[in-house]
Amino acid sequence: MKTKSLASHRVAVAAGLVLALGCGASAQASATGSRTVGDARTIAACTQEVLGVSAVKEPADSKDARHLLLSVENAGDKKCNLYRYPLVRLGADAQATTPVIKDSDPNPGVPVTLAPGQEAYAALLVSGGHRDEYEAKSITLSLQGSRPGTKAGKPVDVPMPVRTLYADDGQLVTYWTTAPGLALDFIMSK
């Protein structure tokens, strides 16, 4: 009898630990946004076909549009993954994509998983006070694929928050996150 109750006790303790660890993982995932590790390969990359895209200036009442918050929303009916950061080009004549702020990724190497209706954000510093200012009348965003150097879908024309942006060679973008404040923290002081 003691052996049977000891075994039952061990099973109950093990089940409790599994439950506690599972809840801890869920709490951690919700605190950092919806990030996946184990099932990332079974979820398709987000493409322009399932995303709604927008850009707003921050703060909303600022005179210039130096700081933008880029938003994407999963308008599809399945989860999809956003990899790394958006590849942004300001203006039709942009020679290169906007450089990323490397330390803005809260979970390096882990994609942001968007459930249907969920949003993700990246902050964009349009001008960093450097030289070579130019007028940009468009924002083009490309999504990265699961492997570095690949793209997911076609480029997206982002609706302009103002008629003209005054960009320069100091522009920067952050990694994707589900927390808009976290993204903005990296650019608002610049």
pLDDT digits (tens, 9 = 90+) for 158-170: 999 999 999 999 9
Bigger pLDDT: 29 vs 64: 64
pTM for this prediction: 0.78
Using the predicted structure, report yes or no on whether residue 98 has a pLDDT greater than 70: yes
The CA distance from 30 to 99, in Å, is 28
The CA distance from 60 to 65, in Å, is 9
Beta bridge partners of 156: 141
CA distances from residue 79 to 11, 115, 118, 173 in whole angstroms, order as listed: 35, 4, 9, 24
Bigger pLDDT: 51 vs 38: 51
List the Cα angle 29/32/36 in 5-degree steps: 45
